[in-house]
Amino acid sequence: MNCDLVPLVSNNAGDWLCMRMGEEGRFDQIVQWYHGGGDWIPWGVSLPEAILMDAVIDRLPGPSRRHAEPAENPRPNHHLLQQDRLLNWACEHLPDAARDLLAAKLDGQILAEELLGLGLAEVAVRCELAVDQLTHPDRDRIVGSLSGKVDSNMLTEWLFDLERMPKDICECLELEGIQLQGIQGWDQAYTHAHRVTNLMPDLAWGWDLCGYVSERRRDSTRAVDFYRSSANCSVFTDQSTRLETHWQSNEFAKFSVSRLHHLLPDCVAQSDYYRSLGGPDVRQRRRQVTEHWLERASGFEQEQDFRQMHHCLVAAAWDVGIDSILTYATLLERIAQAAAQSNQSARAELADTHRRCLKDRYGM
């Protein structure tokens, strides 16, 4: 878990709602942290807002996002307020219209529009809507028909963009009654993604979608700009599994850099950082990326630019992740020190708290 997060509420399946610490020493977001890979996405600016999102997410358009079953269902019967004290508390701290949304039997699309109109959980809602626009309603049938017959990454590529699917495969699926034309709403997905790049520029998935839609529009200049912005974001913000953007993972750790390599090979070849993200060996890529950020951190330390040093040390741990818990422990000590040296006392204390948790749990 990122060292700027404080876990608050669990769903009994390993996922958490967490407070996220900002640069100014204030908790300015509530994010949903997914235990199955460490991905995170903002669910609001307050805990009540995030709890509301948790209550309605299964009613929003798109495929179910549940990846693990909780030990027990904490919200039976469509989250009735009288049966859920936590949700009831959340609604007491939200506009009255939020409580009305829970009671109303609204279509998923209308519910999403109402949430956006109220300014509630906008980033998370737009993510669900983007996923819905790009997910084939018969996705499971397509997977069932093609699994074992084609490479898994190739299948993921086709699911991401149905127009990348070869003609003969399309014809076979259409004989099975699976319609493939005019299914994906790329323009609508772009609208949601572009809005998110303005709201939360440190989330990779918004930039990734904007870049790819620009590619489809034959606007390579804008695509490159979007991808470069995405490359600055952590892979834990790319929503790659839900958006099916992980089909290039054998080549590069980031979808954006893979597409940059496709559009501008020299751009990637001339960048030490972009090159560090490449190669088929995932562990080696992680080591390369960590070493890149540690080298940059050392440079900033020599310049006594401790704020940039702190940024680089955090990236060394959470840009693409690292394999060793022991390495996390060492990095957390340096992150806490750099935060203190750059007058980020709250972040320093939080990083030190994460370090103590590792010591208490693993004895390191």
Domain residue spans in the chain? 1-124, 139-175, 284-362
Asked if residue 77 has pLDDT above 50, the reply is no
Cα(7)–Cα(28) distance, integer angstroms:
14
Cα(183)–Cα(292) distance, integer angstroms:
41
State the pLDDT at residue 229: 98
Of 78-82, 191-195, 261-265, the least confident: 78-82
| CA dihedral of 191, 50, 208, 200, whole degrees rounded to 10 | 80
Asked if residue 320 has pLDDT above 80, the reply is yes
State the pLDDT at residue 363: 80
- In sequence order, which residues have a C-beta less than 8 Å from that of residue 102 and are 6 or more positions away? 52, 55, 56, 79, 81, 87, 91
Task: Give the closest residue to 23 by CA, choosing from 289, 355, 327, 306.
Answer: 306
Q: Is the pTM of this model over 0.85?
A: yes
Asked if residue 73 has pLDDT above 70, the reply is no
Q: Which residues are registered as beta bridge partners of 6? A: 19
The pair phi, psi for residue 103, each rounded to 5°, is: -80, -30
Asked if residue 70 has pLDDT above 70, the reply is no
State the pLDDT at residue 65: 56
State the pLDDT at residue 80: 57
Report which of residues 60 and 99 the model is more confident about.
Answer: 60
Asked if residue 69 has pLDDT above 50, the reply is no
85-115 pLDDT, tens digit each: 999 999 999 999 998 998 888 999 999 999 9
Report which of residues 79 and 279 the model is more confident about.
Answer: 279
Q: What are the CA-CA distances from residue 156 to residues 135, 145, 172 (Å)?
A: 11, 13, 17
